[in-house]
Structure 1
Amino acid sequence: MSNADSRPNGRQTVAEFGIAACQTTWPAGDNIDRLRCEISTVKARFPWVSMLLFGELVPLGPFVKQAIKLPGPAEDRLRELARHNRIWLIPGSMYELDGDSVYNTTIVIDPSGNVVGRYRKLYPFQPYECDVSAGDSFLVFEVPDVGRIGVLICYDIWFPEVMRTLAWLGAEVVLHPILTNTLDRDVELAIARASAAQQQCYLFNLNSAGGDDGLMGYGRSAVFGPDGDIIHQACAGPETIPVLVDFDRVRRSRSRGLHGLGQPLKSFREGAIAFPPYGGMSSSALEVLGPLGMPTPRL
């Protein structure tokens, strides 16, 4: 099979693209120098990797008091890492200070050191991520002559509309940095795998893995393919997960169906139903659930 395919615009595009997800065990502080070493190590060991992904809140730590303004000096350091190593860099997310608001924000940096997009987490983990504001826009970016990649952060995946919208916008790969150290990790993995199958895309579900002073994720990062297959699932320690993404495989799955069977994206495109939750109507079933807040002890 050729490594290039003809697209409707007549250009030849590379179908295979190396992405490495780095499951780390770093402390809850400034880890940008650690990022520097990790990037160098990955590039030396896997020179075919063109994009590196790190976990949620890895660069500067998981505390709102560590919020920074973007653009700014920390982002400039990350831009230099991408430029120096000639690599696409998604360094995990950082708490971003914008006026009186704090956002959980992921940046995407190209191999020339340019910021091609910033994505603010749409669904902060309420009521626990209580001091963080919600973003209001999606991010799907193009790797020239390769394909389209979308970004979401941690709790966003619990809302199927987010993944659906990324696919609607053309994402063929979805990058999903997370920081999960709670007993819902099994459920999160099930949702991630199902989401990859439903949207017929690659999904990089990347957690942190331990750390004695703050970044205490449970690890078990996973990469899923467009047929819902488990390409790799990590254990609980540090690990680099390099994957050669086959964009042609995504396009075949979406065109011919998952294992030659269901074609959910095309069926959704051609469906005639107007879903009630998206029509602006209120729901008495949801209203009776009460306010969004911290659970109280039951006496």
Structure 2
Amino acid sequence: MSKKALNITVLSIVAAVFVIFFYQSGSIKQATGSQDTKTERGEMQTSPFKVATLQFNPTLNERKKNVKELSRVAEKAFENGAKLVVAPEMATTGYMYEDREAIEPFVDTIPGKTTATFAKIAKENHGYIVFGMAEVDEKTGLYYNSAVLIGPDGYIGKYRKTQMWETEMHWAAWGDMGVPVFDTVIGKIAINICMDSAYFETARLAGIKGADIMAFPTNSSAQTISALPARAQQNGMYIVSANRSNTEKGFHMIGGSAVWSPTGEKLAEAPIAMTKEEAIEETVIEYAEIDLKQYENENKERLERRRPELYKELMHKVAPWNSTKTTTSHHVNVAALQYEPVALDKAKNMEKVSHLIEQATRENQSLDLVVLPETSLIGPVDKKSKKDIRSLAETEQGQTKKFMADLATANDIAIVYGFVEKEENKLYNSAMLIDKNGNKAGKYRKTHLNESDKAWAEAGAKLPVFETEDLGRIGILIGEDAAFPETAGVLAVNRADMIAIPSAWHGQYGGKMEINRAISKNPYPDNAMVTWDAVAIGAQAYTVVANFIGTDKDYLGGSGLYTLDPLYGLDQPVVASMGEEEVITAEFDTLQSDRWFNQEKLLQSRQTPYFKPLIIESSSQESNSDLDEAA
């Protein structure tokens, strides 16, 4: 090697060491989802801090006025101790624009003049602010419905709305960044905007990258803010939502800006204004405390149990040319059986189930489908009963199948039931769909096992949907499967008209819905459960849940029917008590083809290219590389 080459090599090594040192110390910007993302410098916050949601109503076409007023309100929130402030979607311009020409005078680059104004405020108050604005891309001239994050050191990053609503489609391009997550001294912050929350995938993209807080600017009339407790629980993150509370060009936004905990608990909420007559024009600021100790929680840990290899269909977009979908709606009468099982006693549980089905058919002679809880005839299986499991296990054609087939043919009903399945030397937590003739119409093996399951069961490897002649297409989930929104997402892509969920739920996931009761035109029952509701609305498939009561774990009941759209008055969830044995019945039409939102429209509007990180097992850095390549 020449002396000159040796010197170059030495200088290269020194330079590499220098870069690594400053990279690790945070002095060099690091991309985590887009070229605009950077890692903030400073010491990590350790004590709880205050966040503020600004229920702020901009004036259409008055950007200068809106920026000035929003700056004043943000300053007030900072002065009152807020460390993070979130303002609504399109907060600098208003929302209702007909086309590109109408909004052209009011767009701005990011970063640009608008972000510079708020950077000054953030720096002076050593705080963070997220707000929505109309962005113009300097290179392409395209407009985006965007939101920005600004901190004490200035502009941090932006997000472009992935799942748009019809209004902005006339002037904005679809978001093309995926969902970046920004490292700050108060935690990892992600952003979603309004219609994003109707699609579980956009929040999930933030969740798998470890987001601690999601800022959620919105202009919501009900749907998107009602989904937030589920999005918080599913991903174990705080959500700070900022909505408007007035009417613009006939579109009314209902307020209810809120802060949600990683468990789905409502920590703060601004007033609701359900009609334009109730509009609240003045800005309302609500505060809540975020505890950094809650960044690590059971819901976030559950993300480690995801099974991306099962979720490949989330990338599929076959609508509207889908030959597998049901084209004829079915009017269906369903029943969910809720009872206290006799542990490990098939005979006594057979007697109980027979009695309840007799009751159900007596009360509803048009009954079509009955759903039973998980491991229906032996009760919940746990580690203590592990020794008994193998003796109670059976093949799919065993004693339980014969018993259920006899009930089905005698009562002219289809039945979904759970059992411990034995195949060779393996055991599965399974569920079977029996048709009215007593024949097997489908079998599903639980894919997302809990700790008790893992002591004895193998995990299933498919999320199938079963075609039936009289009921349409039926998907099945079991227990904890429902806590993973990808499962219902796959069933929706595979065009399930209905989902049955045999369960053994005692509060280990999910919880009561805490959305403001006034939001829903048809109010939810008092003990409606967030996770099961999220399955039905998220997949746009009627969902029948059967759960136990009683036993040593105090199972919580709540069996029933979860529906597609109680918010705007299409249908009404029906939910059983939390402690009584009962048969809960309901009826519905499987397809709602004329509704403003349904499964067809859900699947046609999903922006699948940006969902790729959900179906691969990799680090966030690899996921982002794949995303960039897809974009």
TM-score bin (small chain): 0.7 to 0.9
Partner residue in 2 for 1:3: none
Alignment of structure 1 residues 10-21 onto 2, 5 Å: 13-21=45-53
Which residue in the other structure is 1:150 paired with?
Answer: 190
1:42 pairs with 55, 77, 87, which one? 77
Following the alignment from structure 2 to structure 1, what is the Cα–Cα distance between the partners of residues 200 and 211?
Answer: 14
CA deviation after TM superposition for structure 1 residue 86, in Å: 2.5
Percent identity between the aligned chains? 20
Structure number with greater CO (CA < 8 Å, separation at least 6) is 1
Q: 5 Å matches for 1:90-109? A: 90=130, 92-98=131-137, 99-109=140-150
* Residue among 88, 107, 113 paired with 1:55: 88
1:96 maps to amino acid: E
Paired amino acid for 2:289:
L
Query: Are residues 1:24 and 2:69 paired?
Result: no
What does residue 218 of structure 2 align with?
178
The match for 2:164 is: 124
**Hey, what does 1:7 align to over in structure 2?**
none
The alignment's C-alpha RMSD in Å is: 2.9
Secondary structure at the aligned position of 1:243 is classed as strand
- Which residue among 239, 244, 251 is the counterpart of 2:289? 244
Q: Distance in 1 between matches of 2:308 and 2:217?
A: 34
Structure having the larger proportion of residues in helix: 2
Q: 2:87, 2:44 → 1: CA distance?
A: 30
Partner Cα separation in structure 1 for residue 121 and residue 149 of structure 2:
12
Amino acid at match of 2:74: I
The CA deviation string for residues 248-298 of structure 1, in whole angstroms up to 9 with x for no partner, is: 12313347xxxxxxx632321xx36422423557462379958969xxxxx
Contact between 1:19 and 1:52, CA under 8 Å: does it hold in 2? Answer: yes
Following superposition, the deviation at residue 166 of structure 1 comes to 0.1
Measured in 2, the distance between the counterparts of 1:78 and 1:279 equals 38
Partner of 1:188: 224
Query: Which structure has greater strand proportion?
Result: 1
Maintained 8 Å contact 2:144/2:161: yes
How far is 1:195 from its partner? Answer: 1.0
Q: Match of 2:166, SS?
A: coil
Tell me, yes or no, if the aligned pair for 1:61 and 1:215 is still in contact at 8 Å.
Answer: no
1:205 matched residue in structure 2: 241
Gap change, CA 1:214 and 1:244, over 3 Å in 2: farther
Do the aligned residues in 1 keep the contact of 2:203 with 2:235 (CA within 8 Å)? yes
Gaps of 5+ in 1: 1-10, 256-262, 294-299
Question: Which residue of structure 2 lines up, in the alignment, with residue 296 of structure 1?
Answer: none
Counterpart CA distance in 1 for 2:190 and 2:89 is 15
Whichever residue aligns with residue 143 of structure 2, its letter is V
Q: Which amino acid is the alignment partner of residue 159 of structure 1?
A: Y
Aligned length: 265
1:125-155 Cα shifts (integer Å, max 9, x gaps): 13663221111222211122x3211111111
- State the secondary structure of the residue aligned to 1:226: coil
CA distance in 2, matches of 1:108, 1:100: 22
- Matched to 1:252, the amino acid is N
- From the superposition, tell whether residues 97 and 128 of structure 1 become closer, same or farther in structure 2 (CA, over 3 Å): closer
Based on CA coordinates, which of the two structures has the bigger radius of gyration?
Answer: 2
Q: TM-score, normalised by structure 1?
A: 0.78
Write the mapping of 1:46-85 to structure 2, written as runs, cut at 5 A.
Answer: 46-47=80-81, 49-62=82-95, 63=97, 64-65=103-104, 66-85=106-125
Q: Under a length normalisation based on structure 2, what TM-score does the superposition of the two structures give?
A: 0.39
1:242 partner letter: Y
SS in 2 for 1:22: strand
Return the letter of the residue paired with 1:38. Answer: V
Offset at residue 33 of structure 1 (A): 1.0
1:169 alignment partner in structure 2: 209
Secondary structure of 1:164's partner? Answer: helix
Which structure 2 residue ranges, 5 or more long, are not aligned?
A: 1-42, 98-102, 274-279, 326-492, 496-598, 606-631
> Quick check: 1:139 aligned with 2:180?
yes
